[in-house]
């Protein structure tokens, strides 16, 4: 294929072809384009665009002057290309419509950022003028957590002005001059285990000996996990033996594994970053009945946990009106330690109510004299031996799931 045919028709070329089809001739198409779009083009300009389309298709899109009253008719290939033009036109119109919807600042994020953006939305709603929406929130799909998808759905629209802020991974190197990002928090990789699992952490060496539900290979969490296993030369039986499934829909895997914990049955692990696991922990949206049978513990190697940075990103240079929003996001995230896998601070104890004054007590009656106690040597066993006997009867507690001798 030559260089000319490699130049696909653009949106304007599609609009011109659609105008010729609707109007019937090049001359009428010129008037239609001027009246409908306020775009001025000559008949020769229309002819040039039609030739460009024909060269790209490798076949004429139109047969001109053959229809009733000299109207142009579409060829078979032209009819197919017209459907393509309609899709291209629709995509551009949708994108322009989103840009023209309102002047509200638009933020794009992933579903697990709901705990952050709901607080942002409420706090900005209370700002002056109260009750007026200040932030429009676009929530992507779970599958958009993948590097390439987040690139297409968040970073690229940031450069075109479709969105003004994005919460997620830091931008790649090729966007560093166009975009500016700031750290909000660091999440840590955690695994879901039975509540009776010994210890509050899990090493990579122990992790690879279990079957696990893990994120797909294009996710940052999975890339980090496999990189650390290889980097630290952990004795690994191989992904084909330790991976039970790969999915972004971690909720269904958590539900299945938590049910196995509740029934006391053997179960695989579930791996997720702490900000994604958060809503399945006690006290959160999906941390309800049965959650007491499971717990989330962090992965580590030699005490170093596996962490992922979460950033807020805007255009570079950052517009002044976005600076207070970025600062508010940082404050919100600083006040949510559970995003990082840390326990939340306990609420302050309520102040004690003043106690009522005590009523005067009646005088005590004189007590009877105590009987003299027997001397120590009168006991068959001394006190020291008694203490030893007590310990010998109570220190041999049964082990978990073991039978007492």
CA distance 168 to 111: 11
Under a CB-based contact definition with an 8 Å cutoff, are residues 167 and 329 in contact? yes
In this prediction, the residues of the chain whose per-residue pLDDT falls under 50 are: 1, 4-5, 364, 370-371, 373-405
Domains of the chain with CATH codes: 11-100 (1.10.10.10), 104-343 (3.40.190.290)
Under a CB-based contact definition with an 8 Å cutoff, are residues 67 and 73 in contact? yes
Encoding tokens for residue 113? 């950022």
- The pLDDT assigned to 161 comes to 86
Instruction: Single out the residue of 359, 345, 326 nearest to residue 120, CA to CA.
Output: 326
Query: In this structure, are strands 73-74 and 294-301 parallel, antiparallel, or unpaired?
Result: unpaired
Tell me whether the omega of the peptide bond preceding residue 372 falls within 30 degrees of 0, making it cis: no
Under a CB-based contact definition with an 8 Å cutoff, are residues 140 and 110 in contact? yes
DSSP state of 95: H
pLDDT, tens digit, for every residue of 357-380? Answer: 555 555 545 555 544 544 433 333
Q: For 149, how many CA atoms within 13 A lie in the half-sphere containing its CB?
A: 16
- The pLDDT assigned to 375 comes to 43
CA distance 209 to 186: 27
Under a CB-based contact definition with an 8 Å cutoff, are residues 34 and 42 in contact? no
Under a CB-based contact definition with an 8 Å cutoff, are residues 107 and 136 in contact? yes
3-state secondary structure 43-92: HHHHHHHHHHHHHHHCCCCEECCCCHHHCCEECHHHHHHHHHHHHHHHHH
The dihedral built from the CA positions of residue 335, 341, 343 and 347, taken in this order, carries a sign that is positive
- The pLDDT assigned to 378 comes to 38
């Amino acid at each position: 294929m030559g260089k000319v045919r490699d130049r696909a028709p653009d949106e304007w070329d599609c609009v011109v072809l659609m105008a010729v089809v609707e109007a019937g001739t090049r001359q009428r198409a010129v008037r239609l384009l001027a009246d409908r779009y306020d775009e001025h083009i000559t008949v020769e300009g229309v002819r040039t665009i039609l030739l460009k389309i024909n060269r790209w298709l490798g076949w004429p899109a139109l047969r001109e002057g053959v229809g009733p009253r000299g109207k142009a008719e579409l060829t078979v290939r032209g009819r197919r290309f017209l459907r393509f033009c309609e899709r291209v036109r629709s995509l551009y119109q949708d994108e322009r419509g989103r840009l023209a919807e309102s002047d509200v600042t638009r933020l794009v994020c992933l579903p697990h950022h709901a705990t952050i953006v709901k607080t942002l939305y409420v706090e900005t709603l209370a700002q002056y003028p109260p009750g007026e929406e200040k932030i429009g929130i676009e929530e992507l799909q779970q599958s958009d957590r993948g590097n390439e998808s987040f690139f297409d759905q968040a970073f690229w629209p940031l450069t075109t002005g479709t969105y003004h802020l994005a919460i997620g991974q830091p931008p790649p190197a090729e966007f560093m001059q166009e975009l500016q990002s700031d750290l909000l928090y660091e999440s840590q990789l955690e695994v879901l285990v039975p509540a009776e699992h010994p210890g509050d952490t899990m090493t990579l060496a122990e992790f690879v000996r279990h079957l696990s539900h893990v994120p797909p290979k294009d996710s940052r969490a999975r890339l980090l996990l496999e990189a650390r296993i290889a980097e630290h030369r952990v004795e690994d039986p191989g992904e084909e033996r330790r991976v039970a499934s790969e999915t972004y829909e971690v909720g269904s895997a958590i539900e299945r594994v938590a049910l196995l914990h509740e029934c006391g049955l053997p179960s695989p692990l579930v791996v997720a970053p702490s900000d994604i696991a958060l809503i399945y922990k006690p006290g959160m949206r999906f941390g309800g009945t049965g959650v007491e049978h499971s717990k989330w513990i962090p992965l580590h190697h030699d005490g170093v946990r596996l962490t992922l940075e979460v950033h807020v990103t805007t255009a570079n240079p950052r517009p002044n009106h976005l600076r207070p929003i970025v600062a508010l996001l940082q404050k919100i995230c600083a006040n949510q330690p559970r995003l990082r896998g840390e326990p939340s601070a306990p609420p302050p104890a309520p102040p004690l109510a003043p106690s009522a004054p005590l009523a005067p007590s009646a005088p005590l009656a004189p007590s009877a004299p105590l009987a003299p106690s027997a001397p120590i040597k009168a006991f068959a066993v001394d006190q020291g031996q008694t203490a030893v006997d007590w310990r010998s009867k109570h220190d041999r507690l049964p082990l978990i799931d073991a039978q007492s001798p």
